[in-house]
A and B are shown apart, each in its own frame.
Chain A
Amino acid sequence: GESVGLHLPTLSVQEGDNSIINCAYSNSASDYFIWYKQESGKGPQFIIDIRSNMDKRQGQRVTVLLNKTVKHLSLQIAATQPGDSAVYFCAENIRGGSYIPTFGRGTSLIVHP
């Protein structure tokens, strides 16, 4: 969930556990969603995307779930590794003339060896 001030929501897990990162989006007209991973001092990198005509999509060790009823998106990472430690952002793209991505605040994932 959201937090106040400069502190990102943080998820701490042990290496090998599964991680679930949640995101609530705001606009019911959004029809394309993307998860990005940002390592310290670098730009975000694309992980996985999903369009609103799907409710689940799987990649390598990652799964994205979309619940349009409650406007909720989640990213599941299987067998989390120390290299997965990063800030994860969800972005929603609103259906219309231009797809301008709108980003959430992000969640910091910390993986302990």
Chain B
Amino acid sequence: DGGITQSPKYLFRKEGQNVTLSCEQNLNHDAMYWYRQDPGQGLRLIYYSQIVNDFQKGDIAEGYSVSREKKESFPLTVTSAQKNPTAFYLCASSIDRLGQPLHFGDGTRLSIL
């Protein structure tokens, strides 16, 4: 079955630590996205990538970093500079950048120890 896999489902971060969230897709989609969701809030865009080896900042990129070395993978690193990292992180992909629905993974819930 094609889809998007996010891992781990739950992640805990210590103060001052960087953590990396994995996102893999086998849909052969060009575009991939990372969103952050806080309780009672909509989805806010962190980073997106429309092609391999290229990515752009979204609305709340500070304290996060990404890479897109392979078409199927778009990992997100939450750095120690992100002072309020506790949230639900959602990865998504779409066929291309020309207005198509997003396919989402089932998210990673990040908490601070």
Report A's interface with B, CB cutoff 8 A.
5-8, 31-32, 34, 36, 41-46, 49, 51, 89, 91, 93, 98-106
Contact = CB atoms under 8 A, between A and B. Distances in A.
Contact of B97 (A89, A98, A103): A98
A103 B36 CA distance: 11
Given A31-B99, A43-B90, A105-B42, 15 more contacts: A5-B40, A36-B102, A36-B104, A41-B106, A42-B107, A43-B104, A43-B105, A44-B43, A46-B101, A46-B102, A98-B50, A101-B33, A103-B44, A104-B42, A105-B40
26 contacts: A5-B40, A6-B39, A6-B40, A6-B41, A7-B40, A32-B99, A41-B106, A42-B107, A43-B4, A43-B90, A43-B104, A43-B105, A44-B90, A46-B101, A49-B101, A98-B50, A98-B97, A100-B48, A100-B58, A101-B33, A101-B102, A102-B45, A103-B35, A103-B44, A104-B42, A105-B41
Interface string B81-113: 000000000101000011111111111000000
Given A43-B90, A43-B104, A43-B106, A93 B99 contact: yes
B42 A106 contact: yes
B45 to A, nearest CB: 7
Closest 4 CB pairs of A and B: A43-B104, A6-B40, A99-B99, A46-B101
Interface of B: 4, 6, 33, 35, 39-45, 48, 50, 58, 90, 92, 97-107
Of A43, A46, A93, the most chain B CB neighbours within 10 A belong to A43
Nearest to A90: B42
Contacts, number: 59
B40 A46 contact: no
Contact of B104 (A6, A44, A98, A99): A44
Contact of A99 (B42, B43, B97): B97
